[in-house]
Every structure is written in C-alpha cells, then in structure tokens.
Structure 1
Amino acid sequence: MDEYTMPTRRPNVPGQSPEETWAATVAALPLGAAIAGEVIGRQPFGVFIRVDGVPGAVALAGILAIPEVMGLPVLGAYVRGEVIAYTEHNHQVRVQLYVPGTSLG
C-alpha cells in the first residue's frame, strides 16, 4: 500500500443531488461543531475523513490543522475534531483535529 492515498470516490446519498447533499452537510455541521470519523484518504497536505452521522460528508484536516504531536493519522484511524470552515468548490468541511486523550479529544 502506498503511504498516501485519496478517497476512492465521493460518497453519494440516494435520492439527493450533490448540491442537496452539500446543503444538508453544511446544515448538520455548523462552524464550531464537533465531528468524529474515519480517515479515508491521506496526503502530505492532510487527511480526508468520513464524518460519522452525516451521510455524504467528507472533511479535510489540513496539515496545519493537525496537532504536531499527533503526526499524520493513518488510513482507518478514528479521529475527532471541530468544524472550522467550508470549501464550497469541492464540497469539503474543513476541520481542526483534537489530540486524543485531551479534554477536547
């Protein structure tokens, strides 16, 4: 397996267009919301996360939003964080990860 991978495909939600899925994602994950999920893609610039409880949601934790003590999470790792921004053009939720075992993680 390569060290770096991209998510295999954008999650689809049956019965919803990508625009409807994105609108539902933004509504379900307001700025400051806590998230948790599985790392489904890994790049030198950060990790992609499938967000628990929000069908079709993909989050990106950029390298600067990952605490240095964590390092770059591996594929399949379960992570927690907070919504800090949205990237409209590719329908990504931007998140800041928490250090596991802290009061925020």
Structure 2
Amino acid sequence: MNDYSWPDGGQRLAARSREAWRATVEKLPVGTAIAGEVVGRQPFGIFIRIDGVPDAVGLAEITAMPREATLPPMGSRIVGTVTSHTEHNHQVRVRLGHW
C-alpha cells in the first residue's frame, strides 16, 4: 500500500459538489479562511473536507505549499485560505497555512 489515496466516496462527493457548486462559491469566496481535514492525498496535493461546507471539495496543490513542506498525512487538521474556484471540476483551491 502506498501513501496516496482518493477521498472515500469520491464519486458521490463529486456529484454532491457539482450540485452544491453555486452555494459553495457563495459561502467560500476568494480570501475566506478555512479549516478542515485531509481526506485524500496524491503526489500533486491534498483533498480537504472543509468545515461547515460538507459538499465542498478543497484542493491544496503542492505548488501552493512552502518549498520545504511535505504533504500533511490523512486525517490531519489544516487551516488555509481560499485562493480560487475551478468551475470545470467544482473544486475550491486552497493555500495552506499550517498543519
């Protein structure tokens, strides 16, 4: 087993995030401080379950992390800031603060 994973129930989560996209963008505008839990890890970054917005899919890419940083482990609590929204896959892009 490797250290990477997709979020559990990824297909259902993707469908819910698509249905809730407009509400998610309204609730999480660019610049919003967020907290959440790491629910998936890939070489390119982490997927985040954002507190208070259960249908949102947060993504913090490795390119948005400090150079010396490593990916936080599954289940880690993180904080960060919303930097953008990607309409085509209904993801909230996040720059991590600390974990």
TM-score where L is the length of structure 1: 0.82
The alignment's C-alpha RMSD in Å is 1.8
1:45 and 2:51 aligned:
no
Letter in 1 for 2:96: L
| Structure 2 segments unaligned to the other structure (5+ residues) | none
Considering fraction of residues, name the structure with more helix: 2
TM-score where L is the length of structure 2: 0.87
- Matched position secondary structure for 2:66: coil
Q: 1:47·1:61 contact (CA, 8 Å) conserved in 2?
A: yes
Letter in 2 for 1:97: L
Letter in 1 for 2:39: I
1:86 corresponds to: 85
Change (3 A) 1:69 1:99: farther
1:61 and 2:93 aligned:
no
| Structure 1 segments unaligned to the other structure (5+ residues) | 101-105
- Matched position secondary structure for 1:94: strand
Task: Using the aligned pairs only, state the percent identity.
Answer: 56
